[in-house]
Amino acid sequence: MEKDAAHWIRLADQQRRSGSHESALRFYSRSLELDRTAVTGWLGQVQMLVQLGEYPQADVWAKKALEVFPQHGEILSAGAQARCRMGSLTEALAMSDASLARPGESAFRWLVRGEIIVAQGGRGDDHCFDKAQILDRDWLVPLEAAAACLFHKCPAKALRRAQEAVERAPSSPLCWYVQGDCQRRLGMESAATKSFARCLELAPEHLGARARLAESGGALGGLSRRLGRLFGRK
């Protein structure tokens, strides 16, 4: 049976939730090869390019998507996020304004608005992130807010959102990993140890968590070695 665009979008979502953004990007792109009108494919493609740090490419694809879906609220926000990551805050804010002016509401529009405020060093990001989480209870919302705050070197803001993601999805290795990364950046070594260890309990092959433990040395390095022996690795 031939796989349709929806099949590839489902696979992309699964990869996104595991933190495999490159695979998610590939699957979103595959969905567009089958259906150029799949707005979720366009949006996901731009979002994954942002997560991968390919901001100019994300900007290009947001523009292409807007040619297909003029003034689409979520795609405007995706473009705004790309501009924000490139430091073009005036343009990002204008696109976010246009996005919020479109009919309807979405968590992603408010998530991006919160990120722009964080990038500007202003106040009001909590209101935006909280509103996003009210609109959508998916744990990806606070987790991607945390990632945005980390990008803008605000680990304390990021930790709050990562903790909320862990509360919503305690079985997600990615949530524990991001929480550990926030704690590590804040110098909370003991808490980071526990978060990375929990990540490895849930996903023994998680390379990021193993690397964080190993590079920290001392107690963290010892824990990494003990976990390696526990799971049959040197």
CA distance 234 to 232: 7
**Per-residue DSSP letter, 104:** S
CA distance 150 to 137: 21
**Per-residue DSSP letter, 231:** T
* Identity of residue 71: Q
Q: Are 179 and 163 in contact (CB under 8 A)?
A: yes
Percent of the chain residues past pLDDT 70, beyond the cut: 92
Mean pLDDT (the chain, rounded): 92
pLDDT in tens, 22-48: 999 999 999 999 999 999 999 999 999
CA distance 100 to 106: 9
CA distance 77 to 83: 10
pTM of the model: 0.90
pLDDT in tens, 46-91: 999 999 999 999 999 999 999 999 999 999 999 999 999 999 999 9
CA distance 66 to 194: 44
Judged against a pLDDT cut of 60, whether residue 223 lies above it is answered with no
